[in-house]
């Protein structure tokens, strides 16, 4: 094996995939010195730091600090109440040099509060945020995050997701270095209540932010937080309408809600996303499609993403009359594709059933289907497009 070119060996390791890839890579790292480096890069490229894993990862990186440079995708789950867990996380963050995508979340349905962290712990997090390799940041179920951090993210990274309970309206004296790369924002995901985050909302609507976004920002994602309404987030879509090309409405688990898409006559691509228990076409998808001919008359691509925990019964579509849905799709004269993505294991005939209830769209050749069963370990990174 040692006689083979290292480039060939690296290519072989990089293409190891499938459900057993993690164990295969571990075996390669242990069995062969010529495969070790590439295998370790694959093994450590994504790390999820939870109460169960943080101590083990800290021990591994302390013993072999070079492994920290291999971590490109990092998922931090804050439920680190004990001093030991917080110390372990601080140790890990100090050894990271190549993080590109960072997701900071909380355990379960709890929220995490920036102000509750001691100064040294906040400094450790900031040390990752200023890495020149950083490209994508997601803050989920966060509280008290200073506007200085959010402003840095919006002006330095390519993709930003803010799922905020309450942001901090006070300006923290945090000095960030100027980014040494083109961090023009291309993809922005937002989930918050404007009336509880007035300073953050005003920042997004400010002329300064709009001016900085219009060069590259093309994809905006808005989450439905209250029943049947975007609850003020539509103001952002309208403010960005002259440069926005792609809007995503994420219903999350509000799959029975009906939301009126703001009037965006120049919008070209729309994604409707929902999470359900048993697999079906959610009511929110159908009711929103019916309104598109008036709100997005020049739409060319409609993407529908359904995440389901398990496959539904064969009669899952009998509750709906799809004739009006088809008629409204036909009114979108520029529509060229309706792309369905289903994230659920064990789906067999979803495509056939949808084609049956949308016969005219099927005959027009605009329907396409992709079934995914994503690796659960890397699921947090699905927030990002790349």
* Per-residue confidence band for 20, with pLDDT thresholds at 50, 70 and 90: very low
**144 contacts 113 by C-beta, under 8 angstroms:** yes
Mean pLDDT across the chain: 84
Question: For residue 7, is it within any domain?
Answer: yes
**274 contacts 255 by C-beta, under 8 angstroms:** yes
**137 contacts 162 by C-beta, under 8 angstroms:** no
Between 3-17, 257-271, 342-356, the lowest mean confidence (pLDDT) is in 3-17
Let me know whether 118 and 264 are in one domain. Answer: no
Answer yes or no: is pLDDT of 7 > 60.
no
Residues 137-172: b if buried by 16+ CB within 10 A, e if exposed: bbbbbbbbbbbbbbbbbbbbbbbbbbbbbbbbeeee
Let me know whether 153 and 298 are in one domain. Answer: no
Let me know whether 166 and 52 are in one domain. Answer: yes
Answer yes or no: is pLDDT of 26 > 60.
no
β-bridge partners, 229: 226
* Per-residue confidence band for 14, with pLDDT thresholds at 50, 70 and 90: low
Question: For residue 259, is it within any domain?
Answer: yes
Question: For residue 228, is it within any domain?
Answer: no
Answer yes or no: is pLDDT of 302 > 80.
yes
Let me know whether 133 and 73 are in one domain. Answer: yes
Question: For residue 235, is it within any domain?
Answer: no
26 contact partners, CB below 8 Å, separation of at least 6: 39, 43
Let me know whether 59 and 206 are in one domain. Answer: yes
Q: What one-character-per-residue DSSP string does 169-180 give?
A: -S-----PPPPS
Q: What is the pLDDT of residue 262?
A: 93
Q: What is the pLDDT of residue 279?
A: 85
Can you give the C-alpha Rg of the chain in angstroms?
23
Answer yes or no: is pLDDT of 19 > 50.
no
Q: What is the pLDDT of residue 157?
A: 95
| Alpha-carbon span 174 to 159, nearest angstrom | 21
Range of the domain at 299: 240-373
Q: What is the pLDDT of residue 328?
A: 93
Specify the higher pLDDT residue, 179 or 189: 189
Q: What one-character-per-residue DSSP string does 69-104 give?
A: GG--EEEEEE---SHHHHHHHHHHHHT-----EEEE
| Alpha-carbon span 32 to 26, nearest angstrom | 10
Let me know whether 120 and 188 are in one domain. Answer: yes
Question: For residue 226, is it within any domain?
Answer: no
β-bridge partners, 33: none
Residue 330 structure tokens = 């036909």
* Per-residue confidence band for 171, with pLDDT thresholds at 50, 70 and 90: low
Alpha-carbon separation of residue 87 from 59, 94, 190, 198, 280 (angstroms): 12, 11, 31, 34, 45
Specify the higher pLDDT residue, 386 or 307: 307
Answer yes or no: is pLDDT of 243 > 60.
yes
Neighbour tally for 266: CB within 10 Å: 12
Sign of the C-alpha dihedral computed for residues 109, 113, 114 and 120 taken in this order: negative
Q: What is the pLDDT of residue 287?
A: 87
Burial of 105 (0-12, 13-18, 19+ CB in 10 A): buried
Answer yes or no: is pLDDT of 377 > 60.
no
First to last CA, the chain: 34
Question: For residue 379, is it within any domain?
Answer: no
Let me know whether 345 and 254 are in one domain. Answer: yes
Alpha-carbon separation of residue 332 from 248, 364, 378 (angstroms): 18, 13, 36
**233 contacts 259 by C-beta, under 8 angstroms:** no
Q: What is the pLDDT of residue 21?
A: 55
Answer yes or no: is pLDDT of 138 > 60.
yes
Let me know whether 32 and 57 are in one domain. Answer: no
Q: Answer with the one of 202, 217, 232 that is the final residue of a domain.
A: 217
* Per-residue confidence band for 211, with pLDDT thresholds at 50, 70 and 90: very high
Question: For residue 263, is it within any domain?
Answer: yes
What total of structural domains would you count in the chain? 3
Answer yes or no: is pLDDT of 6 > 60.
no
By three-state DSSP, how is residue 110 classified? Answer: coil
* Per-residue confidence band for 344, with pLDDT thresholds at 50, 70 and 90: confident
Our measurement of the distance from residue 104's CA atom to the centroid of its chain's CA atoms, rounded to an integer in Å, reads 12
Q: What is the pLDDT of residue 176?
A: 77
Q: What is the pLDDT of residue 316?
A: 54
Answer yes or no: is pLDDT of 191 > 70.
yes
Residue 32 structure tokens = 């062969």
Q: What is the pLDDT of residue 386?
A: 65
Specify the higher pLDDT residue, 277 or 262: 262
Let me know whether 128 and 19 are in one domain. Answer: no
Between 71-75, 138-142, 159-163, 224-228, the lowest mean confidence (pLDDT) is in 224-228
* Per-residue confidence band for 352, with pLDDT thresholds at 50, 70 and 90: confident
Let me know whether 15 and 69 are in one domain. Answer: no
Taking only the tens place, the pLDDT of each residue in 30-89 is 545 545 556 667 777 889 998 889 999 999 999 989 989 999 999 999 875 666 688 899
Sign of the C-alpha dihedral computed for residues 74, 75, 77 and 78 taken in this order: positive
Let me know whether 30 and 63 are in one domain. Answer: no
Let me know whether 133 and 100 are in one domain. Answer: yes
Question: For residue 196, is it within any domain?
Answer: yes
Q: What is the pLDDT of residue 74?
A: 96
Average pLDDT over residues 238-266: 90
| Alpha-carbon span 162 to 78, nearest angstrom | 16
């Amino acid at each position: 094996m040692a006689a083979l070119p290292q480039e060939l060996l690296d290519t072989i390791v990089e293409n190891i995939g499938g459900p057993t890839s993690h164990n295969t890579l571990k075996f390669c790292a242990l069995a062969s010195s010529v495969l070790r480096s590439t295998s370790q890069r694959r093994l450590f490229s994504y790390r999820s730091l939870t109460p169960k894993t943080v101590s083990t990862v800290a021990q591994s990186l302390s013993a072999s600090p070079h492994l920290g440079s291999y971590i490109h995708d990092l998922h931090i789950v804050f439920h680190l109440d004990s001093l030991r867990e917080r110390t372990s996380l601080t140790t890990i963050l100090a050894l990271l040099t190549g993080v590109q995508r960072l997701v900071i979340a909380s355990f379960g349905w709890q929220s995490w509060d920036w102000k509750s962290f001691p100064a040294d712990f906040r400094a450790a997090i900031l040390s990752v945020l200023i890495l020149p390799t950083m490209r994508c940041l997601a803050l989920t179920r966060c509280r008290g995050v200073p506007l200085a951090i959010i402003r840095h993210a919006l002006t330095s990274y390519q993709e930003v997701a803010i799922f905020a309970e309450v942001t901090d309206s006070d300006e923290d004296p945090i000095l960030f270095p100027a980014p040494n790369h083109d961090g023009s924002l291309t993809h922005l995901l937002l989930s918050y209540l404007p009336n509880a985050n007035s300073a953050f909302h005003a920042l997004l609507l400010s002329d300064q932010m709009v001016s900085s976004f219009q060069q590259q920002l093309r994809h905006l994602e808005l989450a439905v937080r209250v029943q049947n309404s975007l609850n003020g987030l539509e103001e952002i879509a309208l403010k960005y309408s002259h440069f926005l090309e792609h809007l995503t409405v994420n219903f999350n688990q509000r799959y029975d809600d009906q939301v009126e898409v703001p009037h965006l006559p120049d919008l070209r691509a729309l994604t409707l996303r929902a999470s359900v228990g048993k697999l079906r076409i959610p009511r929110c998808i159908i009711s929103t499609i019916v309104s598109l001919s008036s709100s997005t008359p020049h739409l060319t691509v409609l993407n529908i993403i359904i995440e389901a925990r398990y496959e539904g019964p064969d009669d899952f579509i009998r509750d709906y009359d799809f004739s009006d849905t088809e008629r409204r799709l036909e009114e979108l004269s520029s529509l060229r594709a309706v792309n369905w993505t289903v994230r659920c294991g064990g789906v067999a005939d979803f495509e056939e059933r949808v084609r049956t209830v949308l016969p005219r769209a099927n005959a027009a050749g605009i329907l396409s289907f992709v079934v995914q069963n994503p690796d659960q370990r890397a699921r947090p990174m699905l927030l990002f497009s790349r």
